[in-house]
Amino acid sequence: MLDATPLTDSWILRYDGTDLPAEVPGCVHTDLLRHGVIPDPFLGRNETEVAWVGRREWTYEVELADGVSGGHDQTDLVFDGLDTAAEILLDGRLLGSVRNMHRSYRFDVTGMSGRLSVRFASAYAEAQAVRERLGDRPNAYPEPFQYIRKMACSFGWDWGPTLVTAGIWRPVRLERWSTARIARVRPLVTVDGTTGCVELLVDVERAAVEPGLRLEARIGDVRAVAEVDGTNGVVRLEVPRAELWWPRGYGEQPLYEVELTLYAGVDALDVWRRRIGFRALELDTSRDAHGSGFTFVVNGERLFVRGVNWIPDDVFPSRVTRERYHERLTQAADAGVDLVRVWGGGIYESEDFYDLCDELGLLVWQDFPFACAAYPEEQPLRGEVEAEARENVVRLMPHPSLVLWNGNNENLWGFKDWGWEERLAGESWGEGYYLGVLPRVVAESDPTRPYTAGSPWSGSWERHPNDPAYGTHHSWEVWNREDYAAYRREVPRFVAEFGWQAPPAYATLRRALADLGEELAADSPGMLHHQKAEDGNGKLERGLARHFVVPDGDFDRWHYLTQVNQARAVAAGIEHWRSHWPVCAGTIVWQLNDCWPVTSWAAIDGDGREKPLYHELRRLYADRLLTLQVRERRLVLAVVNQAAQAWKGEVRLRRMSVDGVVIGETDAGFTAGARTVAPVGVPKGLEPVGPKEFLVADTDGRRALHFPATDREIPYPQPEFDVSVAPGGVTVTARTLVRDLLLQADRLDPDARADRGLVTLLPGEQVTIGVSGWKTPDPDTARSALHCLEPGR
């Protein structure tokens, strides 16, 4: 039987005559940080002080005992991930050179021993050498990330630091085996009626000519056997009355373990085990009266996708454990998310990520790692791209959560709109990958899943790549140049990216900027260093000014209002687009998470704290949602029901003044069928007029509000409310209208968390905000952490 021995101990990181004990898996930065050689690059402006790390060579070494033992025929040295350009030597002999972070590598070291050295070149030096050979190409950032198959965002992004890593970032081991081993398994999983079908296409590597190799596979009590023909074999299993795997909110997530064993006679040589799920999958992109759609269909159920974009959860991805994945993905599921898009400037995540998505019912949209740049298609990159694609498509095939392969992020759009075509003057830029190599790899390796050439993509060069009426759409003009009310101008078929910025939580900022000794201010040097977007603060301020009086020198007020504006902006988009289902079939918010403490579009900041946006997503992505929308100059209540059962009831409509007086009210019945949207007309006499009035719609504990004026025009009363400490939380009782009340729990204690975000209370209403992690609760301290909208502010 194949014997695997992890190589995790006794590694040394060597540079300039210095030897440091190293952790493997890991990277140079984390080793240097652990030994105090560099400061924490997440704090203050330390990022700039450690820039030298990415521009020099590094060597990892370990003593390797005799590579042959236990009577095995062959010993392989296996690296699951090397970051990125490196030479591997054993006892001074070159085993090979590598240049791709996204691949694994295997070297035959049978009978060999001695000093194992992994010598990493600077990623900058490797990228520059490729650029000089292939010529310059445009990109969205001034770093050479498109010339090396490495996590692009380690070179910095408009939310990320420039920390160019090197190291053995995934596990390394010795594998000893005899006769033959299982080299690759492609599980094609389909559903035929009530029968689950699995076809295992197996590649075998042989160390000796051994006739009579066979494969035995099982799923529970279902078993099948097949002979190996040379180096290939196919085993088919059928599971009667298979339970279907569903996205969260639509059903359960049953998983079946498949075990495949390779035999020579009675001897078991190798075993492959994975969990699979049975589900039917379709991506409907057919033409209709509105253009062409982009609708996921799982087990015959058409979905409105409630998604988030995912970036690497740490700029040093070797630090992301299964426990951290579990925390972040559970946060996503708890917010009502049912799809996570793994963005193309990052990585193919670890098995833990996809395993957890399988368990949680989170659909995965997987980008191939291409983002915001023109990528050369010549060697040495072309061969690397195809090799990495083939490996990762096969690696991730078993996961039922994986529902889409996407060729790139914004590169087709960039070619059309960002001046690339003229600059390229006929040079290659990646089109051959997205419309040639990658769809061919997916079709050959994983024909059970759909592929799309990019995001955004309208399906054809006959239309603009970002045409909202066709396929996927990225909505960034709003954040960059307009008020978020502009989201309501159009109904894209599928919104794959949109978002609005806000700073991280107060405690996160305090930790990140503590060593600078500066007062927190929107434009302090520390705050600006942790704002990576072009004119990010200017866009934040202009976005505020359209709705509020921009605070002058009051950081706490600025911090609160930017959080409110972020939640309001995202709500404006999602409520509008959800109300137009099934024309619009999904939204994917940019973004769920951060990789360090930074002002960004994230709902969860770099320290894992939830912003108000996160709690707003729980409302926006709930199965049932009320939203008041203006349609053809009339106010309409859209009753959005994504649940499997019809929603029937009565909604109470109240036209009110900001002073709390009810001007008019009525009850209206509604019926929204399963997975439908039902419009309820608002009587003309209940439509609010002017800045002193608003409309409230309530049913089944859900509420929608409509204010016809911007906040800066509304004469809010001075908010009055009582605060008391309840068991496990804080109770607030309103004596006036209290708009967008927010308890910033991390101001009570850095470890404290609140169970909700923004809430609006009418006079006489009460809310209890659950708080965990607060060690010494008292009402005065609670009041100091409460914020709400105030007149003239």
Domain presence at residue 636: yes
- Is 410 part of the annotated catalytic residue set? yes
**pLDDT value, residue 68:** 52
Domain presence at residue 516: no
Over residues 688-703, the mean pLDDT reads 97
Contact yes or no for 479/498 (Cβ under 8 A): yes
Per the prediction, the chain carries an average pLDDT of 97
pLDDT digits (tens, 9 = 90+) for 179-194: 999 999 999 999 999 9
Domain count, the chain: 5
Domain presence at residue 170: yes
pTM for this structure? 0.97
pLDDT digits (tens, 9 = 90+) for 707-723: 999 999 999 999 999 99
Task: Map residue 162 onto helix, strand or coil.
Answer: strand
**pLDDT value, residue 210:** 74
Q: Please say if the pLDDT value at position 793 is more than 80.
A: no
Q: Are strands 402-406 and 363-367 parallel, antiparallel or unpaired?
A: parallel
Over residues 242-252, the mean pLDDT reads 97
Last-in-domain residue among 175, 190, 217: 175
Both tokens assigned to 235: 């085993």
In sequence order, what DSSP letters do the residues of 164-229 get, joined into one string?
A: ---B--S-EEEEEESSEEEEEEEEEEEEETTEEEEEEEEEEEESS--TTEEEEEEETTEEEEEE-B
Domain presence at residue 564: no
Domain presence at residue 763: yes
Considering the domain architecture, whether residues 737 and 755 belong to the same structural domain is answered as yes
Both tokens assigned to 427: 């040079």
d(CA 401, CA 329): 13
Considering the domain architecture, whether residues 575 and 430 belong to the same structural domain is answered as yes
Query: What percent of the chain is predicted at pLDDT more than 70?
Result: 99
Considering the domain architecture, whether residues 329 and 188 belong to the same structural domain is answered as no
Question: Half-sphere exposure of 553 toward its Cβ, with a 13 Å CA cutoff?
Answer: 0
Contact yes or no for 416/394 (Cβ under 8 A): no
Q: Which of 207, 225, 216 is nearest to 261 (CA)?
A: 216
d(CA 483, CA 487): 8
Last-in-domain residue among 713, 736, 771: 713
Residues near 577 by beta carbon (within 8 Å), at least 6 away in sequence: 487, 491, 492, 495, 584, 587
For 134-158, the three-class secondary structure string (H helix, E strand, C coil) is HCCCCECCCCCHHHCECCHHHECCC
Task: Map residue 729 onto helix, strand or coil.
Answer: strand
Contact yes or no for 648/670 (Cβ under 8 A): yes
Query: Between the CA of residue 696 and those of 117, 408, 647, 663, 671, what are the distances in Å?
Result: 68, 43, 19, 11, 19
- Check which CATH number belongs to the domain holding 341 and give it: 3.20.20.80
* Main-chain phi, psi angles of 21, to 5 degrees: -60, 135
Considering the domain architecture, whether residues 383 and 467 belong to the same structural domain is answered as yes
Q: Could you tell me the residue range of the domain that residue 732 belongs to?
A: 721-787
Instruction: Please name the helix (run of DSSP H) or strand (run of DSSP E) that holds residue 404, with its range, or none.
Output: strand 402-406
Considering the domain architecture, whether residues 166 and 22 belong to the same structural domain is answered as yes
**pLDDT value, residue 67:** 53
Q: Is 740 left (phi over 0), alpha (psi -120 to 50) or beta?
A: left
d(CA 65, CA 62): 10
**pLDDT value, residue 65:** 83
For 223-281, the three-class secondary structure string (H helix, E strand, C coil) is EEEEECECCEEEEEEEECCCCECCCCCCCCCCCEEEEEEEEECCEEEEEEEEEECECCE
pLDDT digits (tens, 9 = 90+) for 123-142: 999 999 999 999 999 999 99
Task: Map residue 35 onto helix, strand or coil.
Answer: coil
Over residues 447-471, the mean pLDDT reads 97
pLDDT digits (tens, 9 = 90+) for 542-556: 999 999 999 999 999
Residues near 726 by beta carbon (within 8 Å), at least 6 away in sequence: 768
Domain presence at residue 233: yes
Instruction: Please name the helix (run of DSSP H) or strand (run of DSSP E) that holds residue 417, with its range, or none.
Output: helix 411-417
Q: Are strands 295-298 and 281-284 parallel, antiparallel or unpaired?
A: antiparallel
Q: How far apart are the first and last CA of the chain?
A: 71
* Main-chain phi, psi angles of 609, to 5 degrees: -85, 140
CB atoms within 10 A of CB 16: 6
Considering the domain architecture, whether residues 254 and 141 belong to the same structural domain is answered as no
- Check which CATH number belongs to the domain holding 232 and give it: 2.60.40.10
Q: Cα torsion at 314, 319, 322, 324 (round to 10°)? A: -50
Least confident segment among 22-26, 613-617, 700-704, 788-792: 788-792
Contact yes or no for 55/122 (Cβ under 8 A): yes
Contact yes or no for 103/54 (Cβ under 8 A): no
d(CA 502, CA 519): 19
Considering the domain architecture, whether residues 268 and 190 belong to the same structural domain is answered as yes
**pLDDT value, residue 666:** 97
Domain presence at residue 545: no
Over residues 385-412, the mean pLDDT reads 98
The sheet that has 295-298: what strands, in order across it? 281-284, 295-298, 301-302
CA angle at 57 for the pair 52 and 61, rounded to the nearest 5°: 130
**pLDDT value, residue 209:** 76
Considering the domain architecture, whether residues 330 and 373 belong to the same structural domain is answered as yes
Can you say whether the dihedral through the CA atoms of 336, 341, 343, 347 is positive or negative?
positive
Last-in-domain residue among 580, 596, 612: 596
Considering the domain architecture, whether residues 442 and 294 belong to the same structural domain is answered as yes
pLDDT digits (tens, 9 = 90+) for 494-511: 999 999 999 999 999 999
Domain presence at residue 142: yes
- Check which CATH number belongs to the domain holding 166 and give it: 2.60.120.260
* Main-chain phi, psi angles of 517, to 5 degrees: 65, 30
Q: Please say if the pLDDT value at position 221 is more than 60.
A: yes
Considering the domain architecture, whether residues 670 and 743 belong to the same structural domain is answered as no
Q: Which among 410, 497, 575, 693 is annotated as catalytic?
A: 410
Q: Please say if the pLDDT value at position 348 is more than 60.
A: yes
Considering the domain architecture, whether residues 647 and 758 belong to the same structural domain is answered as no
Considering the domain architecture, whether residues 19 and 84 belong to the same structural domain is answered as yes
